[in-house]
């Protein structure tokens, strides 16, 4: 009655194969998560830059027709475009309103990605 105890070589090879596949899948999931976190960090920085330029326009820089651009942190290329926004409404007389609307568009691009924020800002009309 010679019964062998323990695992055969085939059982050990199958166990190691399953372990290797499991670890490979887990590492792939982890690296995808790290990559997604990096992209989210870039988008967050781009949104902060765009919101900063959006807030400055009309306060630090006057609301006037034109385009300005530049680079922030040697990575994010930004562009601020200000243009008059014309609107029409029934029974509206443009000479009565002492204000005008401007469309402000801020674009931030980096690494082949782009973020764009658009808003309308009100300015007093120079008579």
CA distances to 53, 55, 59, 108 from 72, rounded to whole Å, are: 11, 16, 20, 9
Of the candidates 89, 35, 80, the residue with the CA atom closest to the CA atom of residue 54: 80
Contact 92/27 with Cβ under 8 angstroms? no
Residue-wise pLDDT for 74-111, tens only, equals: 999 999 999 998 876 555 555 566 778 899 999 999 99
* Strands 99-110 vs 66-72: parallel, antiparallel or unpaired: unpaired
Residue-wise pLDDT for 54-77, tens only, equals: 999 988 888 889 999 999 989 999
Residue-wise pLDDT for 9-60, tens only, equals: 888 999 999 999 999 999 999 888 888 898 999 999 999 999 999 999 988 8
Instruction: Give the pLDDT confidence score for residue 8 in this predicted structure.
Output: 85
């Amino acid at each position: 009655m010679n019964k062998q105890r323990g695992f055969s070589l085939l059982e050990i090879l199958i166990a190691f194969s399953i372990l290797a596949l499991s670890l490979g899948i887990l590492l792939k999931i982890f690296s995808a998560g790290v990559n997604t976190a990096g992209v989210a960090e870039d988008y967050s920085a781009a949104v902060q830059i765009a919101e900063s330029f959006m807030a400055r326009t009309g306060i630090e820089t006057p609301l006037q027709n034109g385009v300005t651009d530049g680079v922030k942190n040697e990575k994010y290329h930004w562009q601020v475009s200000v243009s008059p926004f014309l609107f029409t409404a029934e029974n509206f007389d443009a000479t009565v309103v002492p204000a005008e609307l401007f469309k402000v568009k801020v674009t931030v691009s980096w690494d082949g990605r782009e973020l764009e924020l658009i808003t309308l800002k009100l300015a007093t009309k120079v008579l």
